[in-house]
Amino acid sequence: MMYVSGTGRAMYQTLLNFFRPVVTEGPRSEGSRAVRYRASFALVHNEHGEEACIGCKLCEKICPSDVIDVAAGGKIVSEATGKKRATCDDFTLNLQACLFCELCVQVCPTDAIVMLRVQEEPSYSREGLVLTMDKLYANEQNKPLAWGTGSKLMAMQDPKKGQPPKVKKPKAVVEKPVTEKPITEEGGT
């Protein structure tokens, strides 16, 4: 009797496995990855639809394995805001030596560089592992972005988190005798 029930249970497991989804993308599909999972990179646009990178080179300086190369561009007048802003001419990230340490994401002042939730596709050549600016902006469109951005990572480490904001001491107001300015006609139009 034991044999029959044991065989039955084993066949039931086999039946379950028969209907399980086939693994297509690596050992674990994207859905089962943690929310903070980080792999590969993308450059993003800001809320006005402009390229968010301002070419400040902070990521280039902090990278431990020195894989990021940034060429700063000139200043332009933003069409959306009407203010002057810096731009980036060229941005290269060499994945061959990247440690995926997330330091470049953390230091970015404009949240321009973020990480992806999927890995970069394997390549047959070394050039395929170099993420050029075009590839990085294409990644923003085509691949799911990771959770972390510069401002979110900064907010998590804020040493004053959870404390009430500092209230500035109200300066002792010295009541000055209010002297009304004489209205002159010159001030007008």
Partner 1 sequence: MTTRPNPHLDIDNYDADADLMALNMGPQHPSTHGVMRIKLFLDGEVIIKAVPYPGYLHRGVEKLCEKLTFVQIFPIVDKHDYVAPMTNEQAMAVAFERTLGIEVPRRARYLRTILAELTRISSHLLWLGTFTLDIGGTIGGGASMMMYTFRERELILDCFEMLTGSRFHYNTHCVGGNRHEIPDGWVAVVKSIVATMKLRVPEYEQLCTGNEIFNMRSQGVGVISRDLALELGLSGPNLRASGVDHDLRRDQPFHAYDEVDVQVAVAQGGDCFARYQVRIAEFYESIRIVESLIDNIPEGPLSSQRPVKSTLAVKVKTGCHYHGIETPRGELGTYIIGGGDNKSASPYRLKIVPPSLHAMSALPYALVGHTVSDVVAILGSLDPIMGEVDR
Q: CB 1 → partner 1: shortest distance, Å?
A: 26
Q: Based on the shown chain and the rule CB under 8 A, indicate whether residue 64 belongs to the binding site for partner 1.
A: yes
Residues 74-94: b if buried by 16+ CB within 10 A, e if exposed = eeeeeeeeeeebeebeebbbb
User: Site for partner 1 (CB under 8 A): which residue of 97, 101, 123, 134?
Assistant: 101
Q: Based on the shown chain and the rule CB under 8 A, indicate whether residue 175 belongs to the binding site for partner 1.
A: no
With tokens 């970015």, the residue in question is 108
How is residue 142 written in tokens? 């085509």
The number of beta carbons lying within 10 Å of the beta carbon of residue 24 is 6
Q: CB 24 → partner 1: shortest distance, Å?
A: 21
Q: Based on the shown chain and the rule CB under 8 A, indicate whether residue 36 belongs to the binding site for partner 1.
A: yes
Exposed, middle or buried by CB within 10 Å (0-12, 13-18, 19+), for 22? exposed
- The answer for residues whose C-beta is within 8 angstroms of residue 43's C-beta and 6 or more apart is 51, 52, 53, 91, 112, 113, 114, 133, 136, 137, 139, 140
How is residue 187 written in tokens? 């001030």
Q: Based on the shown chain and the rule CB under 8 A, indicate whether residue 163 belongs to the binding site for partner 1.
A: yes
User: Site for partner 1 (CB under 8 A): which residue of 93, 107, 114, 118?
Assistant: 107
Beta carbon nearer to partner 1, 71 or 101: 101
How is residue 101 written in tokens? 């340490």
Q: Based on the shown chain and the rule CB under 8 A, indicate whether residue 153 belongs to the binding site for partner 1.
A: yes
Q: Based on the shown chain and the rule CB under 8 A, indicate whether residue 11 belongs to the binding site for partner 1.
A: no
Q: Based on the shown chain and the rule CB under 8 A, indicate whether residue 138 belongs to the binding site for partner 1.
A: no
From 29-37, 43-51, 78-86, 134-142, span contacting partner 1 (CB under 8 A): 29-37
Residues that bind partner 1 (CB under 8 A): 33-38, 58, 61-64, 99-103, 106-107, 115, 146-148, 153-154, 156-163
